[in-house]
Amino acid sequence: MRDDLFDLLWEALRETLYMIAWSSFFSLLLGLTLGILLVVTDKGHILQALPVQKTISLLINGVRSIPFIILIVILLPLSRLIVGTSLGPTAAIVALSIGTAPFLGRIIENSLKEVSGGKIEAAIAMGASPLAIIFRVLIPEALPALVRGVTIAIIGITECTAVAGAIGAGGLGSLAIRFGYQRFREDIMIATVLVIVLLVQAIQLTGDFIAKSIHNRRFKIE
b/e 196-207 (16+ beta carbons within 10 angstroms → b): beebeeebeeeb
Q: Which of residues 136-155 bind another protein (CB under 8 A)?
A: 136-137, 140-141, 143
- The residue range among 126-134, 166-174, 180-188, 195-203 that interacts with another protein, by the rule CB under 8 A, is 126-134
Examine residue 183 and tell whether it contacts another protein (CB under 8 A).
no
Total residues contacting another protein (rule CB under 8 A)? 25
Measured CA to CA, the distance from residue 85 to residue 88 in angstroms comes to 8
Examine residue 50 and tell whether it contacts another protein (CB under 8 A).
no
Examine residue 114 and tell whether it contacts another protein (CB under 8 A).
no
Q: How far is the CB of 116 from another protein (least distance, A)?
A: 8
Query: Which helix or strand (DSSP H or E) is residue 17 part of?
Result: helix 5-40
- The residue range among 59-67, 123-131, 153-161, 200-208 that interacts with another protein, by the rule CB under 8 A, is 123-131
Examine residue 135 and tell whether it contacts another protein (CB under 8 A).
no
Query: Which helix or strand (DSSP H or E) is residue 197 part of?
Result: helix 186-219
Examine residue 126 and tell whether it contacts another protein (CB under 8 A).
yes
Measured CA to CA, the distance from residue 174 to residue 170 in angstroms comes to 5
Contact call for residues 195 and 13 (beta carbons, < 8 A): yes
